[in-house]
Amino acid sequence: MQIMNTKQKYSSSIKSEAKRLGFLSCGISKAAFLEEEAPRLEKWLKNNSHGEMRYMENHFDKRLDPTKLVADSKSVISLLLNYYPSKEQTANSYKLSKYAYGNDYHHVIKSKLKELTHFIQDQIGEVHGRAFVDSAPVLDKAWAAKSGLGWIGKHSNLLTQQVGSFYFIAELIIDLDLEYDAPVTDHCGTCTACVDACPTQAITEPYVVDGSKCISYFTIELKENIPTEFKDKLDDWMFGCDVCQDVCPWNKFSKAHNEPLFNPHPELLSMTKKDWEEITEDVFQKVFQKSAVKRTKFSGLTRNIHFLKE
Give the pairing of strands 167-174 and 129-132.
Answer: antiparallel
Torsion of CA 183, 184, 189, 193, to 10 degrees: -80
Residue 43 predicted with pLDDT over 70:
no
- What residues contact 294, with CB distance under 8 A and at least 6 apart? 104, 288
Per-residue pLDDT band at 204 (split at 50, 70, 90): very high
For 207-227, the pLDDT digits (tens) are 999 888 999 999 998 988 999
Q: What is the DSSP track for 190-213?
A: T--HHHHH-TT--EEETTEE-GGG
Whole-number pLDDT of residue 47: 64
CA dihedral 84, 89, 91, 93 (to 10 degrees): -130
Q: What is the mean pLDDT of residues 219-241?
A: 94
CA separation for the pair 162, 92 (Å, rounded):
31
pLDDT of residue 68: 84
Task: Give the residue-averaged pLDDT of 46-54.
Answer: 55
Please give the residue that has the higher pLDDT: either 123 or 58.
123
**Residue of 65, 134, 175, 236 marked catalytic:** 134
First vs last Cα of the chain: how many Å apart?
A: 68
Domain range annotation of the chain: 2-89+97-174, 193-245+264-309
Gap between the Cα atoms of 257 and 84, Å rounded:
5
Whole-Å CA distances, 34 to 26, 29, 48, 143: 19, 11, 21, 9
Nearest to 164 by CA among 283, 76, 257: 257
pTM of the predicted structure, to 2 decimals = 0.91
Is 60 exceeded by the pLDDT of residue 56?
no
pLDDT tens-digit map of 94-114: 999 999 999 999 999 999 999
At residue 3 the predicted structure's pLDDT band, cuts being 50, 70 and 90, is low
Whether pLDDT at 1 is above 60: no
**Sign of the four-CA dihedral 224, 303, 238, 140:** positive
Task: Give yes or no for residue 62 having a pLDDT over 80.
Answer: no
Active site residue 134: yes
Which residues, 6 or more positions from 53, have their beta carbon under 8 angstroms from its beta carbon? 211, 217, 221
Average pLDDT, the chain: 90
**pLDDT per position as a tens digit, 263-285:** 999 899 999 999 999 999 999 99
User: Rounded distance, CA 216 to CA 204, Å?
Assistant: 16
pLDDT tens per residue across span 128-175:
999 999 866 678 999 999 999 999 999 999 999 999 999 999 999 999
Q: Yes or no: is domain 2-89+97-174 CATH 3.40.109?
A: yes
3-state DSSP of 21-74:
CCCCEEEEEECCCCCCHHHHHHHHHHCCCCCCCHHHHCCHHHHHCHHHCCCCCC
Q: Residue 35 pLDDT > 80, yes or no?
A: no
Looking at residue 211, its pLDDT comes to 87
Query: pLDDT over 70 for what percent of the chain?
Result: 89
pLDDT in tens, 63-85: 678 888 888 999 999 999 999 99
